[in-house]
Amino acid sequence: MSTKHGFYYKEGHEERLFIDSTPVKQVIDRLSSPPTPFILYSLNQFQHNVNTYQHALNDLAPIRARLSYSMKANYNPHLLSILKSSKVMLTTVSGGEMQLALSNGFEPSKIIFNGNGKTDESIQMAIESGVLLNVDSLFDLEVILKYARQLNKIANVLIRVNPILGDSNVHAYNTTASKTSKFGTSIDDLESIYKLIEDNHDKWIRLFGFHCHLGSTISNTQVIVECVEKMIKLFDMKRFHHLRFLNIGGGLNIDYKRYANRTANEPEEHISIPTIEDYVQAIKQPLQSIPNSIEIIVEPGRSLVANTCVIITRVLGQKQTGPIRQLIVDASMTECIRPALYQAYHHIDTVISSPQEERIAYDIVGPVCESGDFLGRERCLPKILQRGDFLAIFDTGAYCSSMSSNYNMRPRPAEYTLDEHEQIKVLKKRETNEDLLRTYCID
């Protein structure tokens, strides 16, 4: 494996964007006029991120700890292969994700199925296969018990608890532990769930632990400390003797603006983000009173995969609209919805540039027929950009490919990486217009 990993700029007479030890422009040239946009992965960066988390979790010893990857961030099977070889668990949120995990050889005991509204089919799949089910509510538990009886199998469950914490510094759409969250059951309302589990314990159901989720853009470790302090009080080993797991869901944010100071007039705003080691220490701090038999699970998604990808896009043109200079590119909200959905920031820059180039501010917009189809506001890019020039949209590994769509009947993009010999490897083929028509029943 290369000693370099991930995406970075290397300065010289030109500033070149690299993936691992290879210039990105070289990848583009070897693809020979590839259809854009496309997604480029550094799997070395992904493996590095996994290793960093697992190394940090070793500091929780003698308490055992496991890493679980939130598949909804990005479920490319090539990522799952790395996770499986690294003995990482998976947290799934649909029957499709669960089936993909099972078909990729993950042991059912290393898969968690979460969700506040599970379908009958997905519940049956989880019970039949032995996957760990998160009980989100009393009605959720009642349906799980119904199918456990029908299938004559014991359902292995965790309870999804809403710890109702204060501001965890996440976007409103990503808040999962507030008083009005749609996820989980309040600690004060758990007794009815406990009672139903007790009435069916070891016959149709077994309670293995508790799960909570704090959002995936955590930048304040104090909220983790408060959460763990609340959760460990739930472990009544006499009442439920199978208790084993405390799953601390959610994860760290990443610094999406770390490249911003490369160019003039870029936003100087940065968020203070704890390190992975800080995150683990925040979990460890309140664990002194936890039984030795309890195992900790942490389930980041974003901070494992976000910085492993860039989207490569071509310039279509530029125009002046009043006071605003617009740069139109062929990527859009169908490949990177986060700016339109959350007003999220992704750094955008050229693949090759000269330090002497004059830069001006652009609003970078896509071709989708929506006024909200923008990728960045007031970004400083070279004034001389022309149709066909390549740009990179950074940190698109999390919640971009997995949230992509065919809106405006746009084919979803190809996904590539470099193998250990720095040769291009196709991870996912680009969809065609024929692919989009195939599911329609046309006479």
Which residue out of 227, 309, 369, 441 is catalytically annotated? 369
Cα(213)–Cα(112) distance, integer angstroms: 13
Cα(134)–Cα(370) distance, integer angstroms: 37
Q: What SS3 state is found at 269? A: coil
Q: Copy the structure tokens of residue 171.
A: 């976007």
Cα(107)–Cα(105) distance, integer angstroms: 6
Told to judge if 369 belongs to the known catalytic residues of this protein, a careful annotator would answer yes
**Among positive and negative, which fits the CA dihedral 18, 19, 21, 22?**
negative
Q: Copy the structure tokens of residue 425.
A: 């490897």
**How many CB atoms within 10 Å of residue 72?**
18
Residue corresponding to tokens 């043109």: 317
Residue corresponding to tokens 């990808």: 309
Of 391, 389, 358, 359, the closest CA to residue 375 belongs to 391
Residues 6+ apart with CB under 8 A from 311: 37, 38, 39, 40, 331, 335, 336, 392, 393, 396, 400, 413
- Answer whether 26's CB lies under 8 Å from 3's CB: no
Of 302, 301, 392, 308, the closest CA to residue 43 belongs to 308
- Answer whether 227's CB lies under 8 Å from 177's CB: yes
Q: Using DSSP bridges, classify how beta strands 15-19 and 22-23 pair: parallel, antiparallel or unpaired.
A: antiparallel
Question: What residues pair up with 70 in beta bridges, in sequence order?
Answer: 91
Annotated catalytic residues are: 369
